[in-house]
Structure 1
Amino acid sequence: MLLVYTHKISPRLKYVFKHLCTRILGIKVEFTTKIEAFIAHDSLKMSYTKQQLGNEFFIKSHDILFEQGLSDLEIHIHDWDRTKCFFYNGDKSAIPFDIFAASFYLLSRYEEYLPHVKDEFGRFTAVESLAYKHGFLRQPVVDIWAYKFKDALQLQFPEFKFPERDYTVRPIIDVPSAYNFKLKGIIRTLGGMVKDLFLFRFKSLYTRFLVILGFIHDPFDTFKYIINRQKHTKFKFLFFFLIGDYSTYDKGISPNKKKFVSLIKHIADYCIVGLKASYFAIDEISILKKEKLRMETILNTVLKASRHSFSRLNLPESYRNLIELEIKEDYTMGYVNHIGFRAGSCTPFLFYDLDYEVQTPLKIYPYHIMDYALLKTYSLLDKKQVLNEIISEVKQVNGIFIPIFHNYTFSAEKKWDGFKELFNIIIESADEMNTNKV
């Protein structure tokens, strides 16, 4: 156990220490404001305050973990070996940065509460982030800092044995529409035909007819392939199905279609199934509740996980709604068009509500790459390189790599050429020997 002496035990301090020490490094952490208890402790210990007590392991604290609400923080980014950090704390500290304050800033998504420019879908974009602006978006810096902290502690306490964790993958299959042409209903099918004719998409029209007549498979129906991959890997895939009502943004299959319901049940026999909340569910808890109950009826079990359509997040309201509906896990935290670590970590963390100053029970699983972001790189070779680089970053800290692919990513559409191979690289990466360490 690590005992931390500090002048004040705040909710922020407990939250971030438990993420770095317990979730990442696997060691229990306790806190004290009593010098006597600190001196008496005969195992791992450190002081986290403004002034060092003596010659103990000491990290000078930044004020952010002892504040409430938001303040106008002055942030200066510095190079630190192969990574970067901020909240420099001088030479007297065992490490030159207050990694706990910096980690809290990233994990709490502090910057997303501050004024920023949103995109057309009301999303916080990668280019607005501190990580993107200063070139560390593609590193899980929180985990890297935690390992640096571990190395420093190990020097001070060489006899202590730190537990090891393993690199894992958690592939996400996003299903905004299970089928491209099937089960769309007469009006939508006729509308699609007219649109194909108007836009001279004769190949699409021809394919539509063949699918509807049952001569060929629907191009989005790649579920047999995905389930086959699931059968040959030890890591469970997570499917997120959209079952919300038809709207401007959500054009999925009606949950009233029995064949669609049967598909979801079939997938649930092999994989974990969660809810892809519709576009308008982010603003209306009543819509979210309706969709949650709808999915629970289909699965005949309590819904555990969700992610929002278009990866939309409105902090803190989006997460408060999930907490109110007792949804335990969310997979929305990430950037659609950029590869990297939106919250700076490849370790799941609990949502901290900055308005209420409380750690919540909602576990956030940030994703690190979406198939659309890989479309930015031109050749398959370039895609492989980019993918392997981000996998390597997660492997070096033995984290959880979370990619998002869609059911149509595995279709025969030309723009998705080679994506089956990329998906296999991800699956196989977890079976390779993890030789690189920070």
Structure 2
Amino acid sequence: MLLIYVKTLTPRINYTFKQVCGNILGYEVTFTSKIEKFVAYEGKKLSYGKQKMGNEFFIQAAGLLNEQGFSDLDLKFHSWEGVTCFFKASDRSDVPFDIFSASFYLLSRYEEYLPHVKDSFGRYPYKESIGYKHDFLEQPVVDLWAYKFNSLLNERFSKDKSVNRKFQNKNILAVSEAYRFRKKGLVRSIGASLRDVFKLDVSNFIERFKVLFFISKDPYDIYDGLVEESHQNHYKWHFLFQLSNYSIYSKNVSYNKIKYHSLIKSMGDYGEIGMLPGYESLHNFSILKLEKKRWESIVNRPLKIVGSYNFGLNLPTLYNNFDKLEIEQDFSMSYSEAVGFRAGTCTSYLYYDINFERISPLVLEPVVFNSNCIKHHTFFELKTQLEKVKEDVMKVEGSLNILMNNKDFEDWNKEKKYLNLITYLNEK
């Protein structure tokens, strides 16, 4: 057990200590505001506040965890044994910065509550993040801080607690368009063929013709090959399927197609399945609720897993909507144009709503690689970045989660390099 002395136990303190000390480091965390109980306790303990009481293990609080709401903070950055940190503490603190305020700032996505300009898809630009600006985006700094903090605890107290968790992977396949040519309906197929003719796109016209007349396989139909590849290399996938109405943002086959229903249910035999919300549902609760109802009518069980691939998170509204619909797990916490840890961690954690100072039961799964990055980087750049990221994640025995799209494997032979990269990332 780890005993924490605080004058006042706030929701932020409760949330952050239980994530850093409990979820990451594996301690049973208990709080007390009674000095007598704290002094009498003979196990691992620390005080968290403005002033040190005596000779105890002490972390000086910056004050963020005693506040409510959000404001524009003047953050100062420095290095702790090669790892960037902020909320610097005085020399009396046994950790040179307020590790818990810094962790809360990143986990809660505090900076995304502040005024900022979104990109054309409504996303928070990664270049606006402190992780990018201060060159720690590709490091799981919250976990690295936690492990360094645990080493200091073990130096002060008997080493009766080492971290006990294992490096793991979660591979997620976002299916926003199940087939490129098949099952689109007669009107859409004729219209697309005429468009190819007007654009003189002969190769696309011929490929569509071959697929529709069963001469060739649809280029987006990679599911059997992907399952076989992952089975041979001993890893699994989470499959997220979109069930939106046809629109400028959704070119998928109709959610009513029996063939599409069969695909969704068959992938459930090989991994976890969930829903990929459409663009409109990310901003409209009624549409999100309708898409959830469609998914559950197809699969015949409650929807528990969701994730956004192309579009913005619309914080905090979207996560609150997931809460209302009793969704349990989300795979949206990534940047679409950069490799990195959007929340500074490689450990799953609960969503915290700053507006209501509320801990949600929704589990957020940080994703370090969203395959939209492929458009903005060379394969060599991505491979080099992900190899370094994997090293850091393995140091803290965290989770290396990657989010791909079925379109990424359109040319199966050409895209073997990405399959090989995924295989490498899944090696223990």
Q: Same fold by TM-score, threshold 0.5 exceeded?
A: yes
- 2: distance between equivalents of 1:9 and 1:341? 29
Query: Equivalent residue for 2:285?
Result: 285
Displacement of 1:337: 0.6
**Alignment TM-score, normalising by the size of structure 1:** 0.95
Aligned counterparts, 1:282-431, within 5 A: 282-378=282-378, 380-412=379-411, 416=415, 418-428=417-427, 431=428
Aligned CA distance change for structure 1 residues 320 and 374 (closer, same or farther; 3 Å): same
Structure 2 stretches of 5 or more lacking a match?
Answer: none
* Match of residue 435 from structure 1: none
Equivalent residue number for residue 434 of structure 1: none
Report how far residue 159 of structure 1 moved. Answer: 3.2
Which residue is 2:214 aligned to? Answer: 214
The match for 1:67 is 67
Tell me the secondary structure at the aligned position of residue 106 of structure 2.
Answer: helix
Structure 2 residue 167 is the aligned partner of structure 1 residue 141: no
CA contact (8 A) 1:279 1:309 kept: no
2: CA distance between counterparts of 1:416 and 1:198? 30
For residue 203 of structure 1, report the CA deviation from its aligned partner: 1.2
**Aligned-pair distance for 1:191?**
1.7
Q: CA deviation at 1:198?
A: 2.4
Q: How many residue pairs were aligned? A: 428
Once the two structures are TM-superposed, the CA of residue 160 in structure 1 deviates from its matched residue by 1.5
Post-superposition CA distance 1:310-353 (Å, at most 9, x none): 23211111011000010011111111111100000110110111
Give the whole-Å Cα distance in 1 for the aligned partners of 2:414 and 2:216.
20
Quote the offset at 1:307 in angstroms: 1.3
Give the conservation status (yes or no) of the 8 Å contact 2:5–2:48.
yes
Check conservation: 1:250, 1:278, Cα contact below 8 A: yes
Residue of structure 2 in register with 1:160 after alignment: 160
Q: TM-score, normalised by structure 2?
A: 0.97
The CA RMSD measured in Å over matched residues stands at: 1.5
Cα distance, 1:151 vs structure 2:
0.7
SS at match of 2:307: strand
Provide the C-alpha distance between the structure 2 equivalents of 1:288 and 1:134, rounded to a whole number of angstroms.
36
Moved more, 200-209 or 275-284: 200-209
> 1:436 corresponds to which residue?
none
Alignment partner of 1:18: what SS? helix
CA distance in 2, matches of 1:236, 1:5: 43
The letter for the 2-side match of 1:108 is S
What is the CA distance between 1:234 and its match in structure 2? Answer: 5.2
Given residue 288 of structure 1, which amino acid in structure 2 is its aligned partner? L
How far apart are the structure 2 equivalents of 1:107 and 1:78?
19
- Aligned residue in 2 for 1:248: 248
Residue 411 of structure 1 aligns with an amino acid whose one-letter code is: E
- Deviation, 1:256, is 0.8
Partners of 1:304 and 1:328 within 8 A in 2: yes
* Conserved 8 A contact 1:243-1:295: yes
Gaps in structure 1 of 5+ consecutive residues: 432-438
Identity of aligned residues (%): 41
Q: Distance in 1 between matches of 2:317 and 2:325?
A: 12
Which residue of the partner structure matches residue 190 of structure 2?
A: 190
> Contact between 1:278 and 1:309, CA under 8 Å: does it hold in 2?
no
Range 102-111 or range 190-199, more displaced: 190-199
Amino acid at match of 1:399: G
Q: 1:76 is matched by which residue type in structure 2?
A: K
Contact 1:87 1:97 survives alignment (8 Å):
yes
